[in-house]
Amino acid sequence: MPNDAIVNSWLKLVDFIFDSKRDGYNAKETIAVHCKAGLGRAPVLVALALMELGMEPINAIGLIRFKRRGAINGQQLQELVRYQKRDSDAKGQSKPKRRFSGRPILFGRRRNSVKDNLVELSTM
């Protein structure tokens, strides 16, 4: 799983891109995400974003696996199912309710084209 710093940075980006109160916001905003094989890290971050935007974990995982077969391994799946959306603190800053376990996870090394590694995240 990505560490807390990566997850927090990612979710700040998602908050910024999909903040409908932001000047210049467009309802069709998109974030393109990829990693080396497109099966582990990128899909996990996309799943977290979808869950933060209101999708149930099982639906987020199902959508990602439909778009990218082989994405999200068993250990990542367990972590995502246990993940809880962020709370807001008194200053309105969002923060994770629960951290990831931090256990190391092995990722596949299969090489694909950039197109194959791309997962689009858009509002649903």
HSE-up of residue 71 (Cα within 13 Å, Cβ side): 26
* CB-based burial label for 112 (10 Å; 0-12, 13-18, 19+): middle
User: Is 41 designated active site?
Assistant: no
pTM (predicted TM-score): 0.62
* CB 47, CB 60: distance < 8 Å: yes
CA distances, 2 to each of 22, 24, 46, 63 (Å)? 27, 30, 12, 20
Q: Which residue of the set 6, 31, 35, 53 is catalytic?
A: 35
Domain covering 4-122 assigned CATH 3.90.190.10 in the classification? yes
Q: What is the pLDDT of residues 28-86, one digit of tens each?
A: 777 777 776 656 788 899 999 888 888 888 898 889 889 888 888 888 888 888 877 77
Q: Where are the domains of the chain?
A: 4-122
